[in-house]
Amino acid sequence: MDNRITEHPILGIQEKGEPVEFTFDGKPVKGYEGEPIAAALKAEGVMVHRYTQKEHKPRGIFCAIGRCTDCVMVVDGVPNIRTCITPLKRGMDVRTQYGVSDRKFEEQ
């Protein structure tokens, strides 16, 4: 995907960590170690991070600084992880959150 800024007129080429692979809903995806999980997902074009508990509505990045908690996902089996401030690590298992689970509502 071309959501990454290759060279910025003011900031130049941004320093990134090691390229790593992780999984999103079981599918392998690439990112850079240490960048927020949300940044890596955004670079891959992922918009929906979770579906809400009551209305089952989609949510994604909203504040990007860990305040609004809209971007929470199930990471390595733990729900409600704020992906916008949680650094990406090699091999992380990142899953869409449905309510507070990684299982779709009809399977809950």
Partner 1 sequence: MNSVNDRSRDIGAFVPRDDDDMLICRCEEITKGEIRRAVHDGMWTMTEIRRYLRTGMGLCQGQTCARLVKGIVARELGVSPAELEPATSRVPMRPIEMEVFAKEAKEDGHE
Partner 2 sequence: MNRVDLIIVGAGPSGLSAAIEASRRGLEVIVFDENEKPGGQLFKQIHKFFGSKEHRAKVRGFNIGKQLLEEADEAGVRVILNATVIGLYQDKEVVVRIGDEVVHYKADAVIIATGAAENMVTFPGWTLPGVIGAGAAQTMMNLHGIKPGKRVLMLGSGNVGLVVSFQLLQSGCEVVALVDAAPRVGGYGVHAAKVARTGVPFYLSHTIVEAEGEDHVTAVTIAEVDERFQFVPGSEKRFEVDTICLAVGLSPMSQLLKMAGAEMEDNPKRGGQVPICDNHGRTSLPGIFVAGDVSGIEEASSAMIEGRMAGIAAAEYLGYTDAETMQSDLEQLENALDGLRQGMFAPKNRGKLIEKTEEGIDISLNLLEKGYVSDDEIERYPGVTHRKGVHPVIECTQNIPCNPCQDACPKKCISIGKDITSLPIVVDDCDCINCGMCVASCSGQAIFLVDEDCGDGTATVTLPYEFLPLPEEGAVGNALGRDGQVVCKAEVVSVKTAKAFDKTYLLTMRVPKEYAMKARFFKS
Q: Which residues bind partner 1 (CB under 8 A)?
A: 52-55, 57, 59, 62-63, 67-70, 72, 80
Note whether 7 binds partner 2 by CB under 8 A.
yes
Query: How many Cα atoms sit within 13 Å of 90 on the Cβ side?
Result: 4
Distances (CA, A) of 55 to 30, 52, 85, 104, 105: 31, 6, 26, 13, 11
**Shorter beta-carbon distance to partner 2: residue 87 or 93:** 87
Residues from 24 through 43 that contact partner 2 (CB under 8 A):
35-36, 39, 42-43
Cα 108 from Cα 93, distance rounded (Å): 20
Q: Which does 16 bind (CB under 5 to 8 A by kind): partner 2, partner 1, none?
A: partner 2
